[in-house]
Amino acid sequence: MGSLSIFQYQVGGTMLHVLDTRFKLVLMALASITVLNASTWALLVMSSVVVVLCLYIRLPLLLAARELRYFFILLLMVFVARVLSTPGEPLFQIGFITIGKQGLVEGAIVCWRFLLVVALGLVFISTTRVSEIKRSVAWFFQPVPGVPEKRVATMLGLIVRFIPVIFKKAGEVTMAQHARCIGSRKNPFFRLKIFTIPLLRSVFRDAGNLAMAMEARCYSEHGAIQVAAASRNDWILLIAGSSLCVVALFG
């Protein structure tokens, strides 16, 4: 049985699952902009909304934390870099390294913002089918001259589909290395090389097999874009979500 992944559609019947994907894309963009530019109190409001959404769609938080472990390491590196590069009133000093209050606050807020953006993306991915994302992206780019909207939508759909595949391959490579006791090697660059090369080789091989399969089935991007009309509930949720973002951003 294949392992579950947080980076894929989770079947459900909530309002977010049935909300028009075009509106979800707009709301996610607005919420991300708000999170990256809002004040501290607005971040508290947006955090409460994100937590409620995660609980509402029953997002598996433990699975999400496990699969985002490398992202947490990245956040830690960002936090340390922010602490060391932000001038301010020093709290304590370790050798030639000075830790300031402003650096700690700025680092925590930056990591907080990034974590909320990722959480919004998980909510969107968990409640939206890839086929709906493709149709919505093609619909948005259709009026733009010179942009092959169907090709862009197909590429985006393939990227979204390949995210869980990459994580699955990474898990397989990790288990194979543990079986060969590669994790006991002290050189981190050697472990990174031994991990990266097999992973990229496996991913590129799957991508090539997918391209050949699409060619064998005479895949064509020339087709009608069929998007269902938005309902009244879609417009209500769009207006409510947009109003919350505007208030949080400018209030």
Residues 6+ apart with CB under 8 A from 37: 249
- Residue 47's pLDDT is 93
Structure tokens at 67: 């699969």
pTM of the model: 0.78
pLDDT digits (tens, 9 = 90+) for 171-186: 788 888 778 777 666 7
Residue 75 contacts residue 114 (beta carbons within 8 Å)? yes
Q: Write a three-state SS string for the chain.
A: CCCCCCCCCCCCCCHHHHCCHHHHHHHHHHHHHHHHHCCHHHHHHHHHHHHHHHHHCCCCHHHHHHHCHHHHHHHHHHHHHHHHHCCCCEEEEECCEEEEHHHHHHHHHHHHHHHHHHHHHHHHHHCCCHHHHHHHHHHHHCCCCCCCHHHHHHHHHHHHHHHHHHHHHHHHHHHHHHHCCHHHCCCHHHHHHHHHHHHHHHHHHHHHHHHHHHHHCCCCCCCCCCCCCCCHHHHHHHHHHHHHHHHHHHC
pLDDT digits (tens, 9 = 90+) for 37-96: 888 888 999 999 999 999 999 888 888 888 888 789 889 998 988 888 877 777 777 767
Structure tokens at 63: 């699975």
Report how far apart, in Å, the C-alpha atoms of 69 and of each of 58, 107, 169 are: 20, 18, 16
Q: What integer is the mean pLDDT of 9-26?
A: 89
pLDDT at position 4 over 60: no
Structure tokens at 249: 């951003």
Tell the residue number behind the tokens 């207006």, with chain if given.
239
Residue 124 contacts residue 24 (beta carbons within 8 Å)? yes
pLDDT digits (tens, 9 = 90+) for 133-174: 888 888 888 888 888 888 888 888 888 777 777 777 887 888
pLDDT digits (tens, 9 = 90+) for 90-132: 777 776 777 777 888 888 999 999 999 999 999 998 898 888 8
- Residue 2's pLDDT is 45
